[in-house]
Amino acid sequence: MPAFDETFRETLADLFAWRRDVRRFRSEPVPEADLRACLDLARLSPSVGNSQPWRFVRVADPGRRAAVVASFEACNAAAAETYADERAALYRRLKLAGLREAPVHLAVLCDDATGTGHGLGRATMPEMLRYSVVGAVQGFWLAARAFGLGVGWVSILDPCHVSRCLDVPASWHLVAYLCVGYPIEEHLDPELVRSGWQGRDDDAGRLIER
């Protein structure tokens, strides 16, 4: 059993604090060995019934990438129309994706039809499969930060359209679309805090007693 001492815990806290949603990337490529190491660490994530339902798809084809960018632009324009006045103007100024700049695109999908795990733990909560994939995304995100990489999670997409563009099995459901690369800039505070979109909620995650 390794010794997770105070020094390690302080470093771990720094890793969590410096995990940022990155939208501005340098153009230099990501070393293949580093990307693979991050994926290996992500696969250590817990999953319901040990089902391991995550499916990582690297999107390298220019045509498929262009289709994802088009989906983002259409969805982003539609989202902007749901706001009014100053909030709408602020939304349009936000940079919400680094799809054009990021050297690596990773689609992370959940295999809803996997037989691995024999259904344990999901008869009453089938959504646990997708929650397991979210855990793997977080694991990858933290691992990437430890390798000096930035990750941006793009959610302003049509998941069905993206899945069709990627030509994946029908039982695979898109959970996350990640941009990966070296960040242009480093910030301890989230970009949406700096931009004035939403500050930190001190009550979020507060322990409630029952």
- Looking at residues 4-27, what average pLDDT do you find? 96
Classify residue 207: in a domain, yes or no: no
Classify residue 34: in a domain, yes or no: yes
Q: Which helix (H) or strand (E) holds 57?
A: strand 54-58
Q: What is the pLDDT, as a whole number, of residue 81?
A: 97
- Looking at residues 7-22, what average pLDDT do you find? 96
Report the number of distinct structural domains present in the chain.
1
CATH number at residue 186: 3.40.109.10
Q: What is the pLDDT, as a whole number, of residue 184?
A: 96
- Looking at residues 178-201, what average pLDDT do you find? 92
- Looking at residues 158-176, what average pLDDT do you find? 97
Q: What is the pLDDT, as a whole number, of residue 49?
A: 97
Classify residue 9: in a domain, yes or no: no
pLDDT band, residue 42 (cuts 50/70/90): very high
Classify residue 4: in a domain, yes or no: no
Phi, psi of 153, deg, nearest 5: -95, 115
Q: Average model confidence (pLDDT) for the chain?
A: 96
Q: What is the pLDDT, as a whole number, of residue 46?
A: 97
Classify residue 12: in a domain, yes or no: no
pLDDT band, residue 156 (cuts 50/70/90): very high
Classify residue 3: in a domain, yes or no: no
Q: What is the SS3 assignment for 134-173? A: HHHHHHHHHHHHHCCCEEEEECCCCHHHHHHHHCCCCCEE
Q: pTM for the full model?
A: 0.94
Classify residue 206: in a domain, yes or no: no
Domain coverage including residue 100:
22-194
Q: What is the pLDDT, as a whole number, of residue 202?
A: 82
Q: Is the pLDDT of residue 201 over 90?
A: no
Q: Is the pLDDT of residue 128 over 80?
A: yes
Q: What is the pLDDT, as a whole number, of residue 57?
A: 98
Distance CA 94, CA 152 (A): 14
Classify residue 116: in a domain, yes or no: yes
Give 74-127 pLDDT, tens digit per residue.
Answer: 999 999 999 999 999 999 999 999 999 999 999 999 999 999 999 999 999 999
